[in-house]
Structure 1
Amino acid sequence: MSRTIDRSAAGKPLRDAARAARRAAVLEEACAEFRRVGVAAADLAAIARAVGVSRAALYNYCAGREDLARQCYLESLGALQALLHDAMSLPGMGLAKIAGFVREAIGHDRPIAAIAAEVDLLSGEARAEVERGQDELFDRLAALITAGQRDGSVRACNAAIAARTIWGLVFWAPLGELWTGRAGENLAARIGAELPPLVERGIVSNKGRGRHPAEAANLLAPILAARPDDRIEEVARAASRLFNRRGVEGVSLDDVAAEVGATKGLFYHHFKSKTALVRHCFERGFEIYDRLMSVAEEGADSIEQSRRALELNVMAQLYGLHPMSLNIFFRCLPAEDQRRYSQRASALLDLSVGFAERGMAAGLNRRFDAQAVSLASAGTFLFLGRWIEGEDLDRAERTAAEVADFFLYGLTAAAEPID
C-alpha cells in the first residue's frame, strides 16, 4: 500500500509561523504609530504600508484601530506580568524585588504611555479587558510592596498608590522627552538609570529626613479661588479633563457640550474651532502649572519646595483644576505651538531641577540626576487623574501626600522619615 503526504497539513506549521510573524510586524508598526500620534489619530493605512500589506489585508489581524490598540496593550501587559513574576520569584527582600522589576520594565519598549492615556477610547469588552489586565498588574505590584512591608524592607505606605506611582514613572520617559524638546539629551536612558534608586530611597539624604507636614489643600485653596468664575473656565476645565482621559482626537465638541450642559453654539461663541479650544486648554494648563510652581518656590527649604511642587501637581489633577496634561497630542500641534509649549515645559522642569539642586548643595538631598528625576515625576501627575475619579478633597490630599513621600523618601524602611 503506497503512502502519501498530506501537503496541506505539512504546510500548516509554516503558514502559522508566517502569520504569527506578520501579526508581530503589524503590532510593532502599530506601536510605533501610537507612540508617534496616539491612538485616536493613528493612521491604519500608514501602518499597513510599513508592514507591506494593503489596508484591507490589515483587517486579517485586527478589527480596526481600537482592536489594534487593545492587542498592543494586552501584549505589553503580558510581557510586564512576566517581568513582575520573575521579580517576585527572585530570592531576597521585597524592596530589592521591586527595584529589580523597575530595572527590567524600563527597557520594555512598548507604547504603554500613549495607549494608557487613551484607554477611555476603547469601548465595551475591549476596554473592560484592558482595564482588567491593568488592574491585575497594579494589584500584583501592590502585593509585592505589601510583602516588602511584611519582611521589613518597605516602609509603611499606601501600596496601591505606590504601585500606580511606579507605573507612571516607568512609562512616562518617552513623552517627557517629547514635551521638553530634549530628546538629544538621552533623557530616557538617564531616567532609566535613576528610577531604581529613586524607588528604593527617594531623593532626600539621611540629614534631611525630618518629615515636612502635608498642607496641599490649604495651599491649593487660593489658587482655586483665583481662577475665573465664568462659562469659559467651566468649559475649559471640563474639556481639559476629557482630553486628559481620552486624548484630544478622542473627544468631540459634542462630548464637551454634554459634560457642561451646553450647545455647540456656546463653543463657537467663544472659540472659532476645536483647535482653538485645545490651544486655550494648553494655555490655561501652563498658567496653572506656573502658579503651582510659584507657590512651591515659597517653601522654607528645598525639601518643602519639592514637597509642595509634588503635592500641588497631584492635587490639581484630582480636585478642582484639572489642567491639561502634557500628552501625545503635542506632536499634532503646529510647529510654532510645539516650540512655545516646549519652552514653557522646559521652564517648569528647570524650576523643579533648581529645588533639587539647592537641596543637594545644602546636604538635604542625596546626589542624583535632578533633571531626569524631575522629568520622571510628571508621569505620576499624568496617570493618577485617570485612575482616581471623583472630586474628593480629603482623598486627593492623602494621595498627594503619599506621592510626595514616595519621591522624597522612596520605599525603603531602612531610614524612616522622622515625624
Structure 2
Amino acid sequence: MTETWPVRLDKSKARREEILAAATRLFNRKSFAGVTLDAVAAEVGVTSGALYHHFANKELLVFECLSRGIALYREELARAMEQGIDGLELVRRFIRGRLRPGEPRMIVFSDLNSLPKIHREAVHRGRMENVERLAGLIASGVADGTVAARDPYLSSLAVFAVLDWMPLWYSENSYYTRQEAADAIDDLLTHGVLSRHVPEPLSLCDPWDLDEAISRLVPHASRALRRERILRAASQSFNQYGVVGSSMEAIANDAGLTRGAVYHHAPDKMTLLRLCLERAYRREGELLDLVLRKVGTEADPVRRIIAEEVYIMRAMVALHESDIGPKINFQNVAFLSQEQRRQMSGLHEEVVGANRERYVRGIDSGLFRKLDINFMQEIGAGLRNNFPTLFTMSQGQHVMDIADLCARLFLFGLKPRNI
C-alpha cells in the first residue's frame, strides 16, 4: 500500500530526530571538529546520501543540534508552568523534567563562536530567551517567598551553568542511574550543600585582595613569560572564536610573536589547546592552595567553610580577569584526542581530588549535608568552569556579583533558610 504524505512526513521527522540525537552524542564525545557526516550516518545506520537529504553539510547539522538543545529547554520550561504552583516548585519541575530518564540528551554548548554569524546570533538569542524564561519562574518564587531573595537573572544563569555542564560528566555506565543524578542535582540546587540549620549571612566573608594573591603566581623567567604570553593569547582566542575558529597564525599575532615562536612551544593547535587546559588546571590548583591557607586561620568553623567556597569562586573570577587569565572554557576538552586527555588526566585528578577532600571534611564536620561527593564535585565544577560563558551572558553584571551568587546557590540552595 502506498504511504500517504502525512505518514511519509512523520517518518521523515522521526529520522531527522534520530540523526540529531546521534550527532549530539558524537559531538559531545568527540567535539564538532572530531566528527564527520559519514560517522554520523554510520551511527544512525543510514547512507551518507540519506543524511545529506536532511542536512546539506556539517555546519548546518551542528547548528540544528544546538537549536534542538535550545528547543528542549524551552519546551521543558513551558511544561513546568502551571497556575497555582509556587515559584520554587515551578523551578524544580523544570530541573527535574529536563533531567528525567527518557528525555533527549542535551548537547554541549561549546565552540559557539566558530559558527557563522547568523547561526551564532540565533543560538545566543535562543539561550538568552531561555535564561529570561527561567528567571521569570525564579522571580515568581522570590515574590511568593519560596525562593531566596537573590538576583533572578543571575540565579537562572547559574542553574543553566549546572545543567549545561551535565553532558560533560554524566555516564550511562556509572554507579548511579539517570534518575539518581536528576534527584541529586535537584536536591543540591534546592537545599544547598550546607546543613539547613546554618543560616545564610547577609555578608558572606571579609574582603580579600585577590589581585595581590594572584600576582604571586605570575612567572618571572623570560622563557616562562614568553610561554605564558602564548598561552594567554591562545586561551583568549579559544574562548572568543572557538577551537575551530582559532588559528596558530592569529594566536601568534595576538601574542606579538612570530609563528615560529608559537610552534616552538606547540607543534599544532590541539597541542596548544592541551597546554592551555593544563595551565588552567595548574592555576586552579594553585588558587585552591592559596584559599585554603587564607581560611586556615579562621577560628569559627562556619565562617571558615563559607569563606572557603566564596573565596574559591571569587578567585576563579579574579583569575579570569587577571594578567594570567583568562579561564579557558573546559568544555573544549572534547576537542582533545584520548591520548591528549590521558596526558593531562593527572592534573585533572589533583584538582578534583582536592575539591572532594574539602567536601568530605565539610560532611565530617557536620556542616555539610551528607550528599554524594561526586555530584557535589560536578555541580561545583559546573558553576566554576562556566564563568567564561556566564560573563558573556550576564548583561553587564559585576563579575564578583556572579561569583558570590554562584557560591550562595551552591552553599545555601534556592530555598530560603527560614522555611
Q: 2:397, 2:213 → 1: CA distance?
A: 17
Partners of 2:327 and 2:127 in 1: CA distance: 25
Displacement after TM superposition at 1:318 (Å): 5.0
Partner of 1:254: 249
Q: Is the 8 A contact 1:302 1:358 kept in 2?
A: no
Task: State the secondary structure of the residue aligned to 1:157.
Answer: coil
* Contact 1:235 1:260 (8 Å CA) reproduced: yes
One-letter identity of the residue aligned with 2:218: R
Q: Please name the residue that 1:89 is paired with.
A: 82
Q: 1:360 to 1:50 in 2, by over 3 A?
A: closer
* SS at 2:414 equivalent: coil
Which of residues 180, 198, 205 is equivalent to 1:208?
A: 198
Unaligned runs of 5+ in 2: 299-303
Q: Contact (CA 8 Å) 2:238, 2:328: kept in 1 or not?
A: yes
Asked if 1:184 is matched to 2:174, the reply is yes
Q: Distance in 1 between matches of 2:330 and 2:177?
A: 16
Give the counterpart of 1:242 among 237, 243, 248. 237
SS of residue matched to 2:54: coil
Q: Quote the residue 1:4 is aligned against.
A: none
Q: Structure 1 residues 149, 276: CA separation in 2 closer, same or farther (over 3 Å shift)?
A: same
Pairing 1:226–2:228 present: no
1:370 paired to 2:373 = yes
- Normalising by structure 2, report the TM-score: 0.86
Corresponding residue for 2:31? 38
Q: Is the 8 A contact 2:196 2:417 kept in 1?
A: no
Seen in structure 2, the aligned counterparts of structure 1 residues 224 and 194 have a Cα distance that, compared at 3 Å, is: farther
TM superposition shift of 1:193: 2.2
Q: 1:285 aligns with which of 267, 280, 296?
A: 280
Give the structure 1 partner of residue 333 of structure 2.
329
- Any idea what SS the aligned residue of 1:388 has? helix
What is the deviation of 1:177?
A: 5.2
Structure 1 position 148, deviation (Å): 0.9
Q: Deviations over 1:164-207 (max 9, x none)?
A: 111111231231358xxx96343866542221122222111244
Aligned pairs, number: 403
1:3-22 superposed matches below 5 A: 11-22=4-15
One-letter amino acid matched to 2:328? M
Show the 5 A alignment for 1:108-127.
108-112=103-107, 114=108, 116-127=109-120
- Provide the identity percentage: 25
1:412 aligns with 2:415: yes
Return closer, same or farther for 1:111/1:342 CA change in 2, 3 Å cut-off.
farther
Which digits, 9 at most, give the CA deviation of each residue in 1:60-101, with x for residues without a partner? 212322211211122222222121112122532101111121
Q: What does residue 156 of structure 1 align with? A: 149
Q: TM-score, normalised by structure 1?
A: 0.86
d(CA) in 2 for partners of 1:145, 1:307: 22
The answer on whether the counterparts of 2:278 and 2:347 sit within 8 Å (CA) in structure 1 is no
C-alpha separation in 1, matches of 2:194 and 2:99: 23
Q: 1:239-388 residue pairs with structure 2 within 5 A?
A: 239-244=234-239, 247-298=242-293, 299=295, 300=298, 301-320=304-323, 321-330=325-334, 332-335=336-339, 337-388=340-391
Contact kept in structure 2, 1:34 and 1:111, CA below 8 Å: no
